[in-house]
């Protein structure tokens, strides 16, 4: 059994709008090993949620996956028939979304929804399913689990609803959990509880997690590896501690500089200046060039490729293609 659970190669998803074709996922490549947590981080509109949806082929119309491979345990998910994808979703890949109030069916009791997941994937039914549901809720740290099964989603608090969502997602013991902004809608103390829960699940079940978030703090505390997205592309990737300590790409550097730090309230937060590329007709060169303080001639004309730079690190930036540029000789062409 290979260590590599998920390997995404050059995934491209296109969205056809009346203004033209948008490419929210533009050549994204990712790798997740068993038991590993990979964070996909970026601001709104960078394409991270669309990437997650593309992995499990849940891209909403008018979007379509146009090229690339999604190798899950060696098999390309993009080539599988729909019926088989349905069996994989939930059973081998669990999903947790941002807003549990809208992803849980408001007219069904919570217990029913958990049991439904177990039943559909043939894991358990009837009284066995009910027992499993109780155990799951208890594992999620929900008190009075048996009574809670009878509740409707709106009767539960936000934190509890999210725990129910996670319970459903891990009910069939998947290998991979995709969590799309699981704590964004929650208060910070609840966020801490949920992240602790996910950490515990990861340790107990060897769960691999793809964590989609915009919060660099969450990334830092929780993930093993991180990929930074901008304008549909991955601009930097690597082990979390190293990347956050030594960011290479100017966008990552800019992001880190503009996040307020509790420990250093005196620190000047520095906004990222400049404008953002039009997604329908992006400029020919690097998409971050208009906002990059280090941009030089080549950045405007040629799109940099994602290249390795250091231990397990990749960067999409011309600055790192030419070693001598780092010495500050850029812009001399």
Nearer to another protein, 203 or 269 (CB): 269
3-state SS string for 260-320: CCCCCCCCCCCCCCCCCCCCCCCCCCCCCHHHCCCCCHHHHHCCCCCEECCCCCEECCHHH
Q: How many CB atoms lie within 10 A of CB 133?
A: 27
Nearer to another protein, 117 or 223 (CB): 223
Q: How far is the CB of 39 from another protein (least distance, A)?
A: 12
Nearer to another protein, 94 or 247 (CB): 247
* Cα separation, 228 vs 15, whole angstroms: 21
Q: How far is the CB of 291 from another protein (least distance, A)?
A: 8
Q: How far is the CB of 235 from another protein (least distance, A)?
A: 13
220 CB-contact burial (10 Å; exposed 0-12 / middle 13-18 / buried 19+)? middle
* Cα separation, 315 vs 64, whole angstroms: 27
Sites of contact with another protein (CB under 8 A): 43-46, 143, 157, 159-160, 187-193, 195-196, 214-222, 231, 241, 244-247, 253-265, 267-279, 291, 293
Q: How far is the CB of 111 from another protein (least distance, A)?
A: 19
Q: How far is the CB of 222 from another protein (least distance, A)?
A: 7
Nearer to another protein, 1 or 262 (CB): 262
Q: Which residue has the tokens 């093993």?
A: 224
Q: How far is the CB of 19 from another protein (least distance, A)?
A: 8
Dihedral sign for Cα 321, 327, 328, 331, please.
negative
Angle at 216 between CA 171 and CA 257, to 5 degrees: 175
Nearer to another protein, 189 or 324 (CB): 189
Nearer to another protein, 150 or 221 (CB): 221
Tell which residue, 242, 237, 239, 269, has the closest CA to residue 255: 269
Q: Which residue has the tokens 């660099």?
A: 216
Nearer to another protein, 84 or 273 (CB): 273
Q: How far is the CB of 117 from another protein (least distance, A)?
A: 24
* Cα separation, 208 vs 223, whole angstroms: 10
Specify whether the CB–CB gap between 159 and 193 falls below 8 A.
yes
């Amino acid at each position: 059994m290979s260590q590599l659970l998920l390997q995404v190669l050059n995934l491209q998803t296109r969205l056809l709008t009346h203004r033209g074709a948008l490419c929210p996922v533009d050549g994204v490549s990712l790798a997740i090993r068993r038991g590993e947590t990979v964070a996909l981080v970026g601001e709104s509109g960078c394409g991270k949620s669309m990437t997650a949806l593309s992995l499990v082929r849940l891209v909403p119309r008018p979007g379509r996956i146009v090229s690339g491979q999604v190798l899950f345990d060696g098999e390309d998910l993009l080539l599988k028939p729909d019926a088989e994808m349905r069996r994989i979703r939930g059973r081998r890949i669990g999903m947790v979304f941002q807003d549990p109030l809208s992803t849980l069916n408001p007219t069904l009791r919570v217990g029913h929804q958990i049991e439904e997941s177990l039943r559909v994937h043939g894991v358990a039914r009837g009284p066995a399913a009910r027992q499993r549901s109780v155990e799951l809720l208890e594992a999620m740290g929900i008190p009075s689990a048996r009574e809670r099964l009878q509740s409707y989603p709106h009767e539960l608090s936000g934190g509890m609803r999210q725990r129910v969502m996670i319970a459903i997602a891990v009910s069939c013991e998947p290998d991979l959990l995709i969590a799309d902004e699981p704590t964004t809608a929650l208060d910070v103390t609840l966020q801490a509880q949920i992240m602790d829960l996910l950490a515990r699940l990861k340790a107990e079940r060897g769960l691999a997690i793809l964590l989609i978030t915009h919060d660099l703090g969450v990334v830092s505390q929780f993930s093993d590896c991180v990929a930074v997205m901008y304008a549909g592309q991955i601009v930097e990737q690597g082990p979390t501690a190293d990347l956050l300590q030594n960011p290479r790409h100017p966008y990552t550097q800019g992001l880190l500089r503009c996040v307020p730090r509790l420990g250093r309230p005196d620190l000047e937060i520095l906004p990222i200046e400049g404008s953002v590329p039009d997604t329908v007709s992006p400029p020919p060169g690097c998409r971050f060039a208009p906002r990059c303080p280090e941009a030089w001639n080549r950045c405007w004309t040629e799109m940099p490729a994602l290249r390795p730079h250091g231990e397990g690190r990749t960067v999409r930036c011309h600055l790192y293609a030419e070693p001598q540029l780092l010495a500050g000789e850029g812009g001399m062409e």
